[in-house]
Amino acid sequence: MIKIPVIKAVCVSLVLAGIALAPNAQAVPLRAPAAPTSVSCLPTPHPVTTEQTLALFELAARKIGAVRTTGAKRYPFGALHSSPDYAYTGATGWTSGFFAAELWLLYQRTQDPRWLEAARAQTRGLMKLATYTGSHDLGFMVGLPTGLGATLDPSPEQQAAYAEARITAARTLSQRWNPRIRALKSSEYGGKWGLIIDSAMNAPLLIEAGQAIGGPEGDELVYRGTEHMLTLARDFVRPDGSTFHRMAFNPKTGALIGPIPGQGLTGDSTWARGQAWALNGFTRAYELTGNAELLDAALRTAAFWVSKVPPGCIPAWDFDIDNSRAPR
């Protein structure tokens, strides 16, 4: 088994997005609040108070402010336990869009112009990646920050520029389409045409862009994005709702070859982050399309997570690890 370093994530976007919907939040949420759920991971459930919400935002602002960079050349990635300093990537790092998105969410919450300028600066350096063909993660890198910018930036000119970058990124990503497999290529793994569950977070960009531009080109983008998600639903989601991380396909026939070891414990295990990508991506794709098969995939992947997550709501890095001391 390969030992991997434990990473302290810089990205707190999901936390911010969730508590932005809490009472007394100062900005309108980007989407409607999720329906109530009976899920509770705390030993003693209790409602989140306004004071706790404010404290979480203050903590997030301090953490993000501590790593905020000037310009658009460095993008915080995370920190290893062995180092007190944050690690950074260039614009082409797959996580580069997360930090800019966090800045946008803080601006949404506070309306502080300092967060706006920081978000603009970080996003500006990512917009040029809209034509970058070297990554399958353009939804993360370009779509996420420009989507928030197009909604939250007070400047109509900036909004239009962000919207155009998103559409261009979708067109670029669509070039990875294989009509036999009905999916967008992720990469080569062991010399084989590969697809990964992470792509569930990127393919919806095609649907969003296609719906925005309309016409024959827009219809094709929507088709490719939707079919990609359906391929993931059919070939990556097991009957119990768990997911594979990587799969290999025959690019000439479209036939599924089988799982390839990835970042999980084994090629057949359920990598926790990949499961999160799946339930998030399927939910967004269903929201955009109303496709019943995607709804089923979203419900099943979410049900698996809920049934397996331990008290505290944070699983081990792989659901097949039976060790309470495993990194989380």
Q: Which residue would you say has higher pLDDT here, 5 or 94?
A: 94
Are 239 and 227 in contact by the 8 Å Cβ rule? The answer is no
Element containing residue 258 per DSSP (H, E): strand 256-260
Instruction: Kindly report, residue by residue over 169-204, the tens digit of the pLDDT.
Output: 999 999 999 999 999 999 999 899 999 999 999 999
| Mean pLDDT confidence for 85-106 | 93
Are 309 and 41 in contact by the 8 Å Cβ rule? The answer is yes
Instruction: Kindly report, residue by residue over 43-68, the tens digit of the pLDDT.
Output: 555 777 888 888 988 999 998 888 86
- pLDDT exceeds cutoff 80 at 3: no
> What contacts 248, CB < 8 A, 6 or more positions away?
189, 190, 192, 193, 194, 195, 256, 257, 258, 259, 260
Instruction: Kindly report, residue by residue over 137-174, the tens digit of the pLDDT.
Output: 999 999 999 999 999 999 999 999 999 999 999 999 99
- pLDDT exceeds cutoff 60 at 2: no
pLDDT in the model for residue 314: 87
Give the predicted TM-score (pTM) of the model.
0.85
Q: To the nearest whole number, what is the mean pLDDT of the chain?
A: 86
pLDDT in the model for residue 13: 42
Backbone dihedral angles phi then psi of residue 111, each to the nearest 5 degrees:
60, 20
What is the fold of 178-328?
Answer: Glycosyltransferase (1.50.10)
pLDDT interval class at 80 (50, 70, 90): confident
3-state helix, strand, coil in the chain (%, to 5): 50, 10, 40
| Mean pLDDT confidence for 114-127 | 95
* Angle, CA of 107, 109 and 115, to the nearest 5°: 20
Q: Which residue would you say has higher pLDDT here, 199 or 2?
A: 199
- pLDDT exceeds cutoff 60 at 28: no
Share of the chain above pLDDT 90, in %: 70
| Mean pLDDT confidence for 290-299 | 98
Are 182 and 192 in contact by the 8 Å Cβ rule? The answer is no
Closest CA to 72 of 101, 104, 108, 96: 96
pLDDT in the model for residue 141: 98
- pLDDT exceeds cutoff 90 at 328: no
Share of the chain above pLDDT 70, in %: 84
Instruction: Give the long-range contacts of residues 273-277, CB within 8 A, separation 24 or more.
Output: 273/317, 274/196, 274/197, 274/198, 274/243, 274/244, 274/245, 275/197, 275/242, 275/243, 275/301, 275/304, 275/305, 275/319, 276/305, 277/197, 277/198, 277/200, 277/201
